[in-house]
Chain A
Amino acid sequence: MMFLQQIVNGLIIGAMYSVIGVGFTLIFGIMRILNFAYGEFYMLASYGAFLAYSELHLPLWLVLILTMATLFGMGAMTERTLIKPVRERTSDWSVPVIMVTLGLQIVLQNLVLLLAGGTYQGVSAYLLGSLDLGWVIVSYERLLILGVSVGCLVGTWLLIQRTQFGLAMLAVSQNREGAILSGINLQRVYTLSFGLSAALVAIPGVMLMPLLYVYPTVGHVPIMKAFAVTLLGGMGNIEGAILGGIILGISETMASAYISALMKDGVAFAFMILILIFYPSGIGPYFQEIRQKVIRQ
């Protein structure tokens, strides 16, 4: 039964990893950059959530909405003020923009360190108690996390598949010129999707606060997960990221339980590399192929 328990736990944290991965892979697909400041957006969301929840005693749902909105604004503003000038100065802008995000990462991390100090802050779980299903026990906190993750992923999927903007994002990620010629405003897509990416990572920033705590360098954790999930799912592949997050979550939990809690990150990474040896482009494209074969029948 321990085994099933671990699977469930892994699934739940994995769903959150999926959210982290989706935000990161989304920006890679659309702008072909690795956003090194992504972890710092998480960190800022955590600090914001800590202030709103612990100090101002706002209800959790409000904290979530406010944090997402704030981070959306920050993301959009970052794109317009820092990234746009670099994009317009050189035609091969992927690498310089990555450098800008690197600089931003250093700036944000040290700014917060200076202003807030390096102490670890935290809250105890948002919900107490647990659900006993006989075979497994799931804490209400974990159920909440799962619920928010799933809601977020469904919402993102709907946004991409069913709205004009989502379609525009897909178009830009697959053929920039084709998108321009269809009347899509690239600048607007870049700015809004960067904001969306930040808003997405704000969600784990709020929900995982009791688990990971709040301190200036906490961004190191989500960015590593983002890298792993993005690679596992296929660079730029949203569905792959969703699957990848769950796989990462489960493998990590298993590694922690059966091998070593200290080395769980290492084992998870190693497992990811193993999968990549068989699927060098990630698992996302592989599933896309399968789905295509089914459609053709």
Chain B
Amino acid sequence: MRQDIKVYAVLLFLILIFPFVFRNEYFLHLFILGALYAQLASYWNLLDGYLGLINFGYAAYIGIGAYTSALTAIHLSLPLPICILLGGLLAGMIGVLLIIPCLRMVTFSTAIVTLAFGEIARIVATSWTGLTKGEMGLWGIPPLFPSQNKIPFFYLSFGLLLVGSILLKRLLQSRLGLAMMAVREDETAALTSGIEANHVKLLISGISCFVAGIMGGFYAHYILTITPGLFSLGYTIQIMAMSMLGGKGTFLGPILGAFAMILLGEGFRFVEDYRLLIYGLLIIGTVMVFPTGLVGGMARLKKWVTLKR
């Protein structure tokens, strides 16, 4: 335990001094995105890795949070934290409602249905130009912090990641967390043990989508212009890839995966044209070498190295 606290203290210190060491705006932006994706990947993993429910429409909840927050800020001029909270709540509620028809379905069926929801949401966002301004994008979103400086955004994003991770850890260690994993392993057995599998699914979906909405709200008031592209399958897949590459069903995996993919993806910016191609090749390569994800792969590597002695 004491070991852990030391590690966390060091990490916290590093995060605190980071913006003063690396003053480069671009670097800060990368890490802000990293923290954003890390949170999203973690909470996507909550649903998939820990509960076993694949949500291929996850990006839609980010979009719902983003647009709700942006629109309430623009049209109702409410204080920003309230707007973001509203975004999260709406996303969470819709997340719960949309899972209801999926309760009777098999995993891959749920995956496709949620994908369909995501697509429908994207099409609605694109077509309802009166509300969302459609493909043109919604701009003029009030920022969270008045100045152009990225530093406060950096601290906020990592702050959100920290709080989100602590709450996630608490959740996983609670009775609900245990119930979740029981449902994942064997739903029938869980039911006979008195676990209300459907309630668990609804609750966890709600939490996961709520967080997606919150992060969407944060993103809207950071980037200041949003488009319906935010709802696309591509973002969901990216989040899923981060979670899987890092290690599905582990705690640190999605966080590691997110930072790894963001940094690697940007690392290849100098070959801009080939960037995505290399990205795809990397995904294939990583899965072929570490099929269970980096975290699992690292553990096996460690074992292999220590056995060699």
Confirm or deny: A158 has a beta carbon within 8 angstroms of a beta carbon on chain B.
no
Pair A106/B116 contact, Cβ less than 8 Å: no
Pair A114/B116 contact, Cβ less than 8 Å: no
List of A residues within 8 angstroms of B108 by Cβ: 28, 32, 34, 235
List of A residues within 8 angstroms of B280 by Cβ: 103-107, 110
**In B263-309, which residues have CB < 8 Å from any A CB?**
273-274, 276-277, 279-284, 287-288, 291-292
List of B residues within 8 angstroms of A277 by Cβ: 101
Contact with A along B103-142 (1 / 0, CB 8 A): 0111011011101110110011001000000000000000
Most buried by A among B119, B248, B287, B292: B287
Pair A227/B115 contact, Cβ less than 8 Å: yes
Most buried by A among B104, B274, B281, B284: B284
List of B residues within 8 angstroms of A34 by Cβ: 108, 111
Confirm or deny: B237 has a beta carbon within 8 angstroms of a beta carbon on chain A.
yes
Pair A266/B113 contact, Cβ less than 8 Å: no
Please name 26 pairs of A and B residues whose Cβ atoms are closer than 8 Å in the assembled complex, sorted by A.
Answer: A89-B291, A90-B291, A90-B292, A95-B248, A103-B281, A103-B282, A104-B280, A105-B280, A106-B279, A106-B280, A110-B276, A110-B277, A114-B274, A224-B119, A227-B112, A228-B116, A231-B112, A260-B127, A272-B116, A273-B116, A276-B101, A276-B109, A277-B101, A280-B101, A280-B109, A281-B109
Known pairs A89-B288, A263-B123. 16 more at Cβ < 8 A?
A82-B284, A99-B241, A99-B244, A99-B245, A104-B284, A105-B280, A106-B279, A106-B283, A111-B277, A114-B277, A231-B113, A266-B127, A273-B101, A273-B116, A277-B101, A281-B106
List of A residues within 8 angstroms of B244 by Cβ: 95-96, 99
Pair B284/A107 contact, Cβ less than 8 Å: yes
List of B residues within 8 angstroms of A32 by Cβ: 108
Bound CA span A32–B106, Å: 12
List of B residues within 8 angstroms of A260 by Cβ: 127
Pair A230/B281 contact, Cβ less than 8 Å: no
User: Chain A at the B interface: mostly helix, strand, loop or mixed?
Assistant: helix
Most buried by B among A32, A269, A270: A269
**How distant is B299 from chain A, measured CB to nearest CB, in Å?**
14
Pair B106/A276 contact, Cβ less than 8 Å: no
- Count of chain A residues near B, Cβ 8 A: 44
Confirm or deny: A148 has a beta carbon within 8 angstroms of a beta carbon on chain B.
no
Pair B105/A270 contact, Cβ less than 8 Å: no
List of A residues within 8 angstroms of B237 by Cβ: 36, 102
**How distant is B204 from chain A, measured CB to nearest CB, in Å?**
19
List of A residues within 8 angstroms of B111 by Cβ: 34
What is the chain B residue whose CB lies nearest that of A90?
A: B291
Pair A276/B284 contact, Cβ less than 8 Å: no
Contact with B along A175-193 (1 / 0, CB 8 A): 0000000000000000000
List of A residues within 8 angstroms of B127 by Cβ: 260, 262-263, 266
List of B residues within 8 angstroms of A265 by Cβ: 119, 123
Residues of B within 8 A of A (CB): 101, 104-106, 108-109, 111-113, 115-117, 119-120, 123-124, 127, 237, 241, 244-245, 248, 273-274, 276-277, 279-284, 287-288, 291-292
What is the chain B residue whose CB lies nearest that of A232?
A: B112
Pair A103/B283 contact, Cβ less than 8 Å: yes
Most buried by B among A32, A96, A111: A96
List of A residues within 8 angstroms of B284 by Cβ: 82, 100, 103-104, 107
Counting from the closest, the 10 A-B pairs by CB-CB distance are: A106-B280, A103-B283, A103-B284, A107-B280, A266-B123, A96-B291, A110-B277, A280-B104, A231-B112, A269-B116
What is the chain A residue whose CB lies nearest that of B293?
A: A96
Pair A266/B119 contact, Cβ less than 8 Å: yes
Contact with B along A209-230 (1 / 0, CB 8 A): 0000000000000001001101
Bound CA span A89–B296, Å: 13
Query: Given that A99-B287, A227-B112, A272-B116 are known contacts, is A114 also in contact with B273, CB under 8 Å in the complex?
Result: yes
Contact with B along A77-99 (1 / 0, CB 8 A): 00000100110011001011001
What is the chain B residue whose CB lies nearest that of A36?
A: B237
What is the chain A residue whose CB lies nearest that of B49?
A: A95
Bound CA span A93–B291, Å: 8
Query: Given that A263-B123, A269-B116, A269-B119 are known contacts, is A106 also in contact with B276, CB under 8 Å in the complex?
Result: yes
List of B residues within 8 angstroms of A276 by Cβ: 101, 105, 109, 113
Bound CA span A235–B142, Å: 45
List of A residues within 8 angstroms of B123 by Cβ: 262-263, 265-266
List of A residues within 8 angstroms of B105 by Cβ: 276, 280-281
Pair B277/A270 contact, Cβ less than 8 Å: no
Pair B120/A269 contact, Cβ less than 8 Å: yes
List of B residues within 8 angstroms of A272 by Cβ: 116
List of B residues within 8 angstroms of A95 by Cβ: 244, 248
**How distant is B140 from chain A, measured CB to nearest CB, in Å?**
25
What is the chain B residue whose CB lies nearest that of A278?
A: B101
What is the chain A residue whose CB lies nearest that of B108?
A: A235
Bound CA span A266–B241, Å: 26
**How distant is A245 from chain B, measured CB to nearest CB, in Å?**
15
What is the chain B residue whose CB lies nearest that of A262?
A: B127
What is the chain B residue whose CB lies nearest that of A270?
A: B120
**How distant is B258 from chain A, measured CB to nearest CB, in Å?**
15
